[in-house]
Amino acid sequence: MRSMSLAVLAGILGSIFTLFWTEGVLHHTNVAQAQPAAGPRLSEPAQPYLPPADISSGLTPDERVNVAVYEKTNQSVVNISTLTLRPDGWLLRPVPAEGNGSGSVIDKSGHILTNNHVISDARQVVVTLFNEESYPAKLVGADPINDIAVIKIDAPPEQLFPISLGDSDALRVGLRVFALGNPFGLDRTMSTGIIASLNRTLEVQENWVIKSIIQIDASINPGSSGGPLLDTQGRLIGMNTAIATGDSRNLRQSAGIGFSIPVNLIRRVIPELIQHGRVIRGDLGITHVTETEDGLRIARLEPGGPAEQAGLREPQVTRQRQGPFVFERIDRSTADVITAVDGEPVQTAAEFLGMIEQKKPGDVVNLTILREEKTMNIIVTLGGDEPAQKVPPRQRSI
């Protein structure tokens, strides 16, 4: 299973952490820093789901809620085992590598929600249900940008218990949460904690971001990726995706800081993955930008793409032949510098990608640019995109 680097754009307790995907096979990843969280929309929390009287006798109120949430949801959580081929460090040939993660049943048709990094590049995916029955799974659709995937198994409907979905917009810092998953392959393990922060922004690889991340202190560990984050009603409010660990390469367990993808983002993505196999996004036709003090300088336009058709400019390239050699001169001063999208200032490529990836083909985008030291606005109508999972991160049009 592929291990992907994930960077947190926020300072965490004044220390430096290394982030790991919470899957079964891990590698050292990038150092992370953080960004202050913005305040979410406030809403009164729902009353906790309580167990029947016959199982609550002698339990404290907190224990009753813990038991109730587990009893309601544990049959919705699955174990995902994968088999991939990885290059051998000595013989330089592919060798089998096993990995594991978690997932949630989302309907009676056998669709399973998990992280894209859990199943990415897997040659074989097997889902094990609560009753220890195992089924081969096939990929239905994946969204690498938001690290969301849907797989499907052919299991009898009576063995499938779809999880209930909550509302991540109603979350508040301090609310109690529960994380279910298969840490280290220990199936359907539950841990408890609180929401530690909201609206975190995590960078996935270079210039790829996941926004509105939920930070939790519930313990999640390798193998928990793709498992549900639950509220006291037993509703899925997020999908556990990454953990922060100490800076030691040998420390693989959670440091008490976990990150979950919010369910409202998942709600938006799932229907497209099931229907189209991917998320259909608008294509701006800018294939690369360079961060500068003034904004984002266009480095390359897609020939004939929406941005070029709208009149945006890239660096001028002149070529001159001298004998058998061709010399190339690039004048970057002629390229437009993007300073805002729809009136919202933008300073990093990650922010820019995050703004554009929410758009659909046919949407109109108002770009504020600097051209020859003058500010102007360019209106661009977005085109259609190519399947994101087939395009290398550095080359994907935004």
Catalytic residues: 117, 147, 225
Tokens 């990650």 belong to 350
Q: How far apart are CA 133 and CA 131, in angstroms?
A: 5
**CB neighbour list of residue 293: distance below 8 Å, 6 or more residues apart:** none
- Spatial CA neighbour of 175 closest among 196, 204, 147, 153: 196
CA distances from residue 323 to 301, 319, 320, 326 in whole angstroms, order as listed: 30, 13, 10, 8
Residues near 92 by beta carbon (within 8 Å), at least 6 away in sequence: none
For residue 130, give the DSSP letter: T
Distances in Å between the Cα of 325 and the Cα atoms of 90, 162, 240, 317, 331 are 40, 65, 54, 16, 20
Distance, in Å, from the CA atom of 199 to the CA atom of 244, rounded to the nearest integer, reads 16
- State how far the Cα of 24 lies from the Cα of 20, in Å rounded to an integer: 11
Q: Nearest-CA neighbor of 236 among 114, 367, 128, 119?
A: 114
Q: What's the N-to-C CA distance of the chain in angstroms? A: 27
User: How far apart are alpha carbons 122 and 129 in whole angstroms?
Assistant: 19
Closest CA to 47 of 25, 69, 14, 27: 69
Residues of 30-69 as b/e, b for ≥16 C-beta within 10 angstroms?
A: eebebeebeebeeeeeeebbebeeeebeeeeeeebbbbbb
